Amino acid sequence: MAIMNVNPTRMEMKRLSERLKTATRGHKLLKDKTDEMIRRFIGLAEENKRLREETERELCMALTAFSEARAAADARVTEEAILMPSRSVSLTCSTRKVMGVDVPAMEVTDNGGELYPYSLLTTTPKLDASLRGLNDVLLKLVQLAQTEKTCNMLAEEIEKNKRRVNALENIMIPQLTETIKYIRMKLDESERAATVRLMKVKDIIDS
């Protein structure tokens, strides 16, 4: 490990010792934070996996029902039936903090309206099932997007923290430790040299 280019003085050693204490404390805090972020990330990843499986299953069922509805009736009639939807939702996007990281927070508000904007006499029950399924899966789609984005942002922050921890652990702390050791050795040499000079001076005076 390369030693820092500093003057081997007591003042410099004191300054570097303070930096070493700060770096050591920062290393512990960053490592603890990274460990907690990893724990949170694992929980969110499991939640994301569950939401994705449920969303894909329910979306597949809804789309299958829609395909069956188009096959069972005139495609033009089916498309005209859903051409003018009468139901709407609002999406509010904000942020929240997770371990100091700003992650998305989304909220869906149902504005009301008819779920089936057509005459039930001209369509098949499969179309009803398809719209009902799509309506139910909407909230999960929003939750999935929020959870997945949160996982990605936490993964990036974990990677950054790991790089900082490694830099402190493998570069800064060893370099400071070696430099302080070098300064202490130089100061000890200077003290021994000063002692030898004093002893020689005393011998000269005594003689």
In the chain, what are the domains? 10-201 (1.10.287.3240)
pLDDT confidence tier of residue 166, bands split at 50, 70 and 90? very high
Predicted confidence at residue 119, as pLDDT, reads 67
Burial letters 103-130, b for 16+ CB under 10 A, else e = bbeeeeeeeeeeeeebeeeebbebbbbb
Residue 104: beta bridge partners? 95
Task: Read off the amino acid at residue 158.
Answer: I
Compute the chain's Rg from CA coordinates: 34
**Rounded Cα–Cα distance for residues 8 and 163 (Å):** 30
**Rounded Cα–Cα distance for residues 157 and 171 (Å):** 21
Q: Assess whether pLDDT exceeds 90 at residue 43.
A: yes
**Tens digits of residue pLDDT in 53-68:** 999 999 999 888 888 8
Predicted confidence at residue 116, as pLDDT, reads 72
Predicted confidence at residue 207, as pLDDT, reads 65
Q: Which residue has the higher pLDDT, 21 or 3?
A: 21
Instruction: Tell me what the mean pLDDT of segment 5-15 comes to.
Output: 87
Give the chain's mean pLDDT: 86
**Rounded Cα–Cα distance for residues 55 and 143 (Å):** 10
**Tens digits of residue pLDDT in 97-155:** 988 889 999 888 877 777 777 666 667 788 778 888 888 888 899 999 999 999 999 99
Q: Show the beta-strand stretches assigned E in the chain.
A: 89-98, 101-110
Predicted confidence at residue 174, as pLDDT, reads 92
| Cβ atoms of residues 110 and 141 within 8 Å | no
**Tens digits of residue pLDDT in 144-155:** 999 999 999 999
**Rounded Cα–Cα distance for residues 140 and 123 (Å):** 27
Q: Assess whether pLDDT exceeds 80 at residue 81.
A: no
Rounded to two decimals, the pTM is 0.76
In terms of Cα–Cα distance, which of 90, 96, 89, 101 is closest to 157?
101
